[in-house]
Amino acid sequence: MMPGRKELLQQIQAIEFMALELNLYLDTHPEDHRALCEYNQYTRQLKALKDEFQRSYGPLSNFGTAFSQFPWRWIQDPWPWEEE
């Protein structure tokens, strides 16, 4: 069963947090192979989640990261950061 809009956004936020934390860690520990593998795993997962969200609910940002279906979907409410 496909997660709903809110659940997908929560998953995206959680995976983005993990990728960001690993990115910061790798800035100071570039030789940590395990951390780099985890970072790449989270990055692949994040891309898949974002692609799934954008196919179902429209773009997550206003330009350059996703195609838009017709009509232009960026202006449709709610925007990703306006979730309740």
58-72 residue pLDDT tens: 888 766 666 666 666
User: ∠ CA 83-23-58 to the nearest 5 degrees?
Assistant: 30
Q: Where are the alpha helices (DSSP H) in 1-84?
A: 5-28, 33-57
pLDDT band at 55 (very low <50, low <70, confident <90, very high): confident
Residue 54: how many other CB atoms lie within 10 Å? 20
Whole-angstrom distance, CA of residue 65 vs CA of residue 40: 19
The answer to whether the beta carbons of residues 58 and 74 sit under 8 Å apart is yes
Q: What is the pTM of this model?
A: 0.75
Percentage of residues in the chain having pLDDT higher than 70? 71
Q: Where are the domains of the chain?
A: 1-57
